[in-house]
Amino acid sequence: MGKKFVKYFVVDAFTDSAFKGNPAAVCLLEYEKDEKWLQAVAAEFNISETCYLTPITTDVAVTSNPRFRLRWFTPVAEVNTSFFMLVFFF
């Protein structure tokens, strides 16, 4: 089985200048990957945060507002984002 490429970007958060602020990798996945693979990629990036966006598929026709599942990893562990979602809604 051949290797499949993953689209990714490295972004600088909390700044308006390149190479400043907090770097994070953002990976655009076509389908959900297992946690071991996600953790291995985050460790390979070796920056503070790696984000994975995976499309949420439904039986409803494609809309102009696609939905994504979001998971965050550090080089050593997955980040529990439920706290951040709770803060976001208050």
Residues with a known catalytic role: 49
Pairing outcome for strands 22-28 and 49-55: parallel
DSSP state of 45: H
**Using CA atoms, how far apart are residues 20 and 8, in angstroms rounded to an integer?**
19
**CA 52 from centroid of its chain's CA atoms:** 2
SS3 52: strand
